[in-house]
Amino acid sequence: MRKTIFPLILLSFSSYSNAQDSIQASGQIHHLEEVIVSPDATVGSKFKAKNIAGSTYYISPKELKQFNYGDINRILQSVPGVTVVDEEGFGHRPNIGLRGTSPTNTAKITLMEDGVLIAPAPYTAPAAYYFPTVNRIQAFEILKGSSQIQYGPFTTGGAINMISTQIPDDFKGRIRLNYGSFNTRNAYMNVGDSGENFGYVVEYNNRASDGFKRIDHSSKKTGFEGSDYMAKFRINTNANAKVYQSLTLKAQYSKENADETYLGLTDTDFKNNYRRRYLASEADNIGTEHFQLMLTHFIKPAQNITITTKAYNNNFRRNWYKLNDVRYEGKNYSLKEILNDPLKNSAAYELLTGDMDGSDNSLRYRANNRKYNAKGIQTVANIKFNGQNTTHDLDVGIRYHKDSEDRFQWNDGYAIRNNNLYKTSSGAPGSQDNRVAETNAFAAHVLYNFGYKNLRITPGIRYENINIKNTNYGTSDLGRNGSDALRLSENKVDVFIPGISALYAFSKDLSVFSSLHKGFSPPGTSPGQKAEESLNFEVGTRGSIKGLSGEVIYFNNNYRNMLGSDANAAGGTGQGDLFNAGKASVSGLEVLLSYNPLFENSTTKLPISFSYTYTSTELKSNFSSRVEAWGNVSVGDEIPYIPKNQWAMSVGLEHKRLSIYVNSRYNGQFRTQAGQGAIPEQDLVKRFFVMDFATNYQISRRFTLSCNLLNVLNNKYAVSRVPSGLRPGLPFAANAGASFDF
């Protein structure tokens, strides 16, 4: 099937339909190259982002086309205040933090697609392995400070909303093909149209690669293959209807199979060959499947009133089948224990590499088999009206949400003999972990934007009522009949989350703003466990003059109670339980500059942008944790996986049909375990610098050729040490592509 995809798509270049014009109602979707006006968007444009009394960043469709990145880490690298930690080099399972929140599994920020929660179980188990295929995302909105207070449940760091491909105003479509290093290929196509009372868009994306790592003594590839299908259908009243309404159905399905591993390398092995994979990880694999249904109703009962209601249901399944530990002479060795000291644990290390034959079950694999469901309904009403010298914008929303995580896991035994990996025993499904956790949550918010001349003040409040329940059936009750081993735990939270922001514009080119709000993250299922709470402050200024624009923001998040996670990705046991980390403080500086020295030239542009983030972290409580990233914490320790310094720079040349861009990213060193002072070698991920290059040439109005060079300098760098061993970033990679618009 895969081999037929590209020829079929190439054949479709030979035919296309003429564009059709249609007049859209003001309540319908309108989108220009830089602007998206839709019930799916929270910001919709760079102009609006710059006029919000809070830190907000908008990545437009035009920006995304410059590199056509399929890696969310590279897309977000230019956004100040964002921390990304790579895992496998392609960005399919990102770790994203905002303003010092833990990036592990992107579990401490609010993730949305088209304005609804998109994590598999955002309340119950936000640290789950699903992220939308970025090739089908039309724009990204990143909200920090009090600008994200209406988008809970996580309000400490911020929120990211991904706007999927919108229904076009008239008939149009796109076909894009890419092929490059490591046999990496991507095929994308969409087509859509709008009439007076109907609109649609259908979309397909296929991505695959052989991977850049090589397994010892094996010909097995280390790559992935995934497909993504999406369709939207809209019916609407006439544009001149007294009360305009629309109803949009969205259906999305995706699946991926990746031969990826959590197993890294020792420091010595990384230096010798950073693309190496130990033979013991040969059977590592993650298979995922995601299905979403969403129904959006939009009504405009008056010129100044809109009401948007969204009902959604997300199902996600995954089985992360991977090496868990090593057994030698009656003792179990954790992978991190082996790789941290391969000399002390030489026998276990040789079992990993295959240099020593192992007995039956000397390698234990774990099938992290889980199912997730998230569903809910939300309504947001917006009312705008003007007084004498005043503007008023009131946003009122409610949401009922329910999500769950079902764990039904088991262990299998393996052994390496004569440089071949063999399965030596099979566990019964549910015999390692057998439990269901679920959450019922009601949320509401009120946000009032008051403007008087050049002053804008925005108070707001959010309410969260959360009930979390965990049912552990035990590893013997595989039929879930409710035996004596049944264990129940429950936790409840009832909280108000206030915030206020203000912006004063001295002129259309200069403004200052500040905000203060309560940060919040839901607790786990342990009875009485506290939620994460903080007091968050920011102050900043924005300005522009003759082709130069920029903003500078200072932020401080003062935690009353920080939560850590026992996630496997953080070096924990994989149970996913949360624990109280006590008081902490995070502060920093965000700088963003954009300049076009040829701004008066109508045919040639030289866009230059620079972003910088400084982050200082301090833990203010003593505690001990079994999670590797935390360990034994003392007052004054720094939070792991947060670099102090990060910067990114982009330089472009746009002249008629040709465009050339160079992106550079610097990531400062960071510690992988909480501590202070000089970072020990075994806890250090060194600083790194990566440069990418892209060029696009528009042969005609419809046909464009492109070429991307990633990590042009072919720098060898590590991106992480958890859960076990050093893990590499993507080496030099080249790819070429063509796109056809019709």
Residue 136 backbone dihedrals phi, psi, to 5 degrees: -100, 10
Q: What band does 564 get if pLDDT is binned at 50, 70 and 90?
A: confident
CB 733 within 8 A of CB 181: yes
**% of residues, the chain, pLDDT over 90:** 81
More confident residue, 104 or 282: 282
The token pair at 157 is 């760091």
- Rounded CA gap, 265 and 268, in Å? 8
How many angstroms separate the Cα of 674 from the Cα of each of 617, 620, 622, 638, 727? 10, 12, 11, 5, 19
Q: Is residue 155 part of a domain?
A: yes
Q: What is the pLDDT of residues 114-160, one digit of tens each?
A: 999 999 999 999 887 899 999 999 999 999 987 788 999 999 999 99
Q: Which amino acid is at 601?
A: N
The token pair at 151 is 């988008």
Q: What is the pLDDT of residues 617-659, one digit of tens each?
A: 999 988 887 776 777 888 999 999 999 999 999 999 999 999 9
Q: In this predicted structure, what is the pLDDT of residue 571?
A: 54
Residue 599: partners with Cβ closer than 8 Å, 6 or more residues away: 546, 547, 605
Q: What is the pLDDT of residues 394-450, one digit of tens each?
A: 999 999 999 999 999 999 999 999 999 999 999 999 999 999 999 999 999 999 999
Tell me, what CATH number does 712's domain have?
2.40.170.20
- Rounded CA gap, 34 and 39, in Å? 16
**How many structural domains is the chain composed of?**
1
**% of residues, the chain, pLDDT over 70:** 93
Q: In this predicted structure, what is the pLDDT of residue 4?
A: 40
DSSP 263: B
Q: Is residue 294 part of a domain?
A: yes
The CA radius of gyration of the chain, in Å to the nearest whole number, is: 26
Q: Is residue 22 part of a domain?
A: no
Strand duo 433-452 + 390-417: pairing: antiparallel
Structural domain of residue 507, as residue ranges?
46-370+379-741
Q: Is residue 1 part of a domain?
A: no
State yes or no: pLDDT of 64 exceeds 60. yes
Residue 32 backbone dihedrals phi, psi, to 5 degrees: -100, -175
Residue 250: partners with Cβ closer than 8 Å, 6 or more residues away: 114, 164, 230, 231, 232, 292, 293, 294, 295, 296
Q: Is residue 15 part of a domain?
A: no
Give the residue-averaged pLDDT of 316-341: 96
State yes or no: pLDDT of 17 exceeds 70. no
State yes or no: pLDDT of 7 exceeds 80. no
State yes or no: pLDDT of 19 exceeds 50. no
The token pair at 725 is 């061993």
How many angstroms separate the Cα of 507 from the Cα of each of 45, 504, 510, 544? 20, 9, 5, 10
CB 99 within 8 A of CB 157: yes
Q: In what order do the strands lie in the sheet with 159-164?
A: 56-59, 137-143, 159-164, 110-113, 116-117
Q: In this predicted structure, what is the pLDDT of residue 224?
A: 98
State yes or no: pLDDT of 33 exceeds 80. no
State yes or no: pLDDT of 20 exceeds 80. no
- Write down the mean pLDDT value for the chain: 91
Q: What band does 572 get if pLDDT is binned at 50, 70 and 90?
A: low
Q: Is residue 591 part of a domain?
A: yes
Instruction: Return contacts of 558-562, CB within 8 angstroms, 24+ apart.
Output: 558/534, 558/585, 559/156, 559/519, 559/532, 559/533, 559/534, 559/583, 559/584, 559/585, 559/586, 560/533, 560/534, 560/535, 561/530, 561/531, 561/532, 561/533, 562/532, 562/534, 562/619
Give the residue-averaged pLDDT of 255-267: 97
Q: Is residue 14 part of a domain?
A: no
Q: Is residue 553 part of a domain?
A: yes
Q: What is the pLDDT of residues 445-502, one digit of tens each?
A: 999 999 999 999 999 999 999 999 999 999 999 999 987 778 999 999 999 999 999 9
The token pair at 241 is 């209807």
CB 144 within 8 A of CB 56: yes
Q: In this predicted structure, what is the pLDDT of residue 145?
A: 85
Q: Quote the Cα angle for 547-553-554, to 5°.
A: 160
Q: Is the pTM of this model over 0.85?
A: yes
